Chains A and B, each alone.
Chain A
Amino acid sequence: TQLLEQSPQFLSIQEGENLTVYCNSSSVFSSLQWYRQEPGEGPVLLVTVVTGGEVKKLKRLTFQFGDARKDSSLHITAAQPGDTGLYLCAASRGSQGNLIFGKGTKLSVKP
């Protein structure tokens, strides 16, 4: 059973479009993180959300943590080819000292 379900698995859009990807779970987490991974590279941390209902913005990226701390979304406004990559969500159960990852959403933004 996958603890973190990400959707969609694949997303191919044109430059300038908006998109939202989701990370869902039936478990409650103390925090949730979003990473972006490019081919042949390691994941790069984008944001950590901790409080239920929290919204964080990073330029054109908006991250939201669900009120119940079970789910999260990432919204990208006016996507650019440089946004292409694998977007991973990861969650911590706090004291366990490790992260649980979803399988990711593979985003392709065409010029």
Chain B
Amino acid sequence: NAGVMQNPRHLVRRRGQEARLRCSPMKGHSHVYWYRQLPEEGLKFMVYLQKENIIDESGMPKERFSAEFPKEGPSILRIQQVVRGDSAAYFCASSPLYDQLYTEAFFGQGTRLTVV
């Protein structure tokens, strides 16, 4: 049973380019979360999606960042016109059921974005 798959593992972009990060959740999981981890910082929530719906994007920067989880295919985190401050590890997590008591998330290996 494959875990959460993220690609690419490493991504280098020049300032001003676009970055596209992909995430395929675990089989049977319909909830996807994106987190960002900066050096010396904890994991910060960015966005929570279900198929074709954004449930909570309270952690997403207002500009340049967007996310989608289409009916078919992986979830995509898109960063337009990247800047050096976007350099970070981006993690995707998935969960099987939106439980009212708690959320149990399973993480991918991350995409390490470097903006040069």
Interface residues of A (CB under 8 A from B): 2, 4, 30-31, 33, 35, 40-45, 48, 50, 88, 90, 92, 94-104
Shortest Cβ gap from B44 to chain A (Å): 8
A-chain residues with CB within 8 Å of residue B35 when the two chains form the complex: 101
Tell which of B41, B56, B106, B109 touches A96, judged by Cβ atoms closer than 8 Å.
B56
Pairwise interchain contact A50-B110, C-beta atoms closer than 8 A: no
- Cα A103 to Cα B35 with chains together (Å): 13
A-chain residues with CB within 8 Å of residue B107 when the two chains form the complex: 35, 42-45
Pairwise interchain contact B105-A45, C-beta atoms closer than 8 A: yes
Using CB atoms, name the residue of chain B closest to A41.
Answer: B109
Pairwise interchain contact A31-B102, C-beta atoms closer than 8 A: yes
A-chain residues with CB within 8 Å of residue B40 when the two chains form the complex: 103
B100 interface hit (Cβ, 8 Å) = yes
- Cα A108 to Cα B40 with chains together (Å): 16
- Cα A66 to Cα B56 with chains together (Å): 29
- Cα A38 to Cα B10 with chains together (Å): 16
Beyond the given pairs A42-B4, A97-B103, 7 more chain A to chain B contacts, judged by CB atoms under 8 angstroms and listed by A's residue number, are A31-B101, A41-B110, A44-B107, A97-B48, A97-B55, A98-B48, A101-B42
Shortest Cβ gap from B33 to chain A (Å): 6
- Cα A9 to Cα B107 with chains together (Å): 22
Pick 15 A–B contacts, CB within 8 A, sort by A: A4-B42, A30-B101, A31-B102, A41-B109, A41-B110, A42-B6, A48-B102, A88-B43, A94-B101, A94-B102, A97-B31, A98-B45, A99-B45, A101-B35, A103-B42
- Cα A101 to Cα B59 with chains together (Å): 13
The 6 A-B pairs at the shortest CB distance, nearest first, are namely: A31-B102, A42-B107, A101-B43, A103-B42, A101-B42, A98-B45
